[in-house]
Each structure stands twice: as C-alpha cells, then as structure tokens.
C-alpha cells in the first residue's frame, strides 16, 4: 500500500512539474519578437521583402510531429522528450523509472532468499536437513509459516514493481505526445477569446463572447 501511494505521489509531482514548465515555455514563446512585435517594427504593406522575411522566420519555428514523439518515446524512454527539445525532462524520466527498477531488485533478492528458506524448512519437516545451512543469516529463527508469508509478500511487491515500471513507461510516452501537441498550439495575439458582461437591447444583463481567429498567412514573393 505504501509503495502504491509513493508511485502515485511521484507521478502527480511529475505531471505538475511538466505543466508548470509547459506554461513557462508558452510565455517565453509568446514574448518572442515573432509574437510580440512592436507596432513600429511591423512590416508595411508596401514592403513585401520585409513581410516575406518575417514569414520565413515564422515558418522556421520548431513544430514537432506528435506521432514521431510518441513512437520514439515508446521505443526508448526520454527519446521523445529529446525530440521535443525538452531536455530537462530526461533526468526526471529516468529518475522516476529507476524507482520501480530499484524496488524490483530489492524485492526479487529477498524473494529468492525467503523462497529458498521456506523450501529448506519444508524439507526439514520431512526429515531432510541438508538445505538448512544455506539459509541466509538474516532469516535464521523464522518459523515456516512466517517464512511463507514473507515469501508471498516479496513476490507480490516484485510483481507490482514490474507493473509500475510499465505504467511509468506509458506515462512518459503520453507526456511526449501531449507536449508535442502543445508545442504546435498558436499562442499569438491573433488567436484570442474574450468574455465580458454586456447589456443587450432589452436592458437585461448578458455575456458577450468575442472570438478572434487568426487569418491564414499569405506568402509574399520575395523581390529580387
């Protein structure tokens, strides 16, 4: 039960940190010169060369393919995050995935010890004491019933460790896919929605929704 709570807490912290970092990246992109251009620096209608250069810069922004990010993250943990250029997530991915691996090694080690000890005690009850000297010193003096309980407990925790390893692998695949989709979102001022109170013609209160959709970008030929 404690192991389950620990993994849930770690997964929640990972998703929370990912959300905060994604918001910071959005703010950083929104404050760049491509999205927060000053009025004086905007290209004029009669200068197609400047407009074309700005369009070229805008088209060169990194836009990851969600399918590639998902596929690479499923093949190798952290590869999808590296493809999204979110290198700071890679230590988190490997750190979280190392936890179930560590639990697996620990539980499997003691499962093997308790299994051997139980078999030795069981055979000793049948008159064969040849395996008793091989029991680990930590397990000396434990009754056969308690040894059986310990063996089953370590085996169960070992199997849970495998399950949590698969879950953490799936979480980092989902993270890579979602992050790739979010990085393709348009966060410029051309795409916005405002909700504000309004008094209609019948003098009754209401809500006004204004949706501003970004118009398609025209490619202006570069003057030569």
Q: Could you give the residue ranges of the DSSP H alpha helices within the chain?
A: 2-30, 48-59, 66-75, 79-83, 89-125, 144-183
The whole-number mean pLDDT for each consecutive block of 10 residues of the chain, a chain of 224 residues, reads 58 58 54 47 48 49 89 94 93 95 96 95 90 91 93 96 96 94 69 63 65 53 49
* Cα separation values, 206 from 211, 216, 223, Å: 16, 32, 51
Q: Distance (Å, rounded) from C-alpha 30 to C-alpha 109?
A: 52
**What pLDDT is attached to residue 129?**
87
The reported pLDDT for the residue numbered 184 is 76
């Amino acid at each position: 039960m404690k192991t389950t709570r620990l993994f849930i807490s770690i997964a929640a912290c990972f998703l929370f940190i990912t959300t905060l970092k994604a918001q910071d990246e959005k703010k950083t992109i929104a404050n760049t010169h491509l999205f927060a251009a000053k009025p004086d620096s905007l290209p004029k209608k009669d200068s197609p060369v400047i407009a074309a250069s700005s369009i070229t810069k805008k088209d060169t922004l990194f836009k990851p393919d969600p399918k590639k990010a998902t596929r690479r993250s499923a093949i190798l943990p952290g590869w999808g995050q590296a493809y999204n250029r979110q290198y700071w997530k890679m230590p988190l991915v490997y750190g979280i995935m190392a936890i179930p691996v560590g639990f697996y090694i620990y539980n499997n080690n003691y499962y093997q010890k308790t299994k051997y000890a139980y078999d030795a005690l069981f055979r000793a009850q049948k008159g064969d004491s040849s395996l008793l000297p091989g029991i680990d010193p930590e397990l000396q003096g434990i009754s056969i019933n308690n040894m059986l309980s310990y063996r089953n407990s370590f085996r169960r925790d070992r199997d849970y460790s495998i399950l949590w390893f698969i879950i953490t692998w799936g979480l980092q695949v989902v993270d890579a896919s979602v992050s790739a989709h979010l990085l393709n979102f348009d966060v410029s001022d051309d795409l916005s929605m405002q909700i504000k109170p309004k008094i209609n013609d019948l003098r009754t209160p209401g809500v006004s929704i204004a949706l501003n959709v970004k118009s398609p970008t025209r490619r202006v030929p570069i003057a030569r």
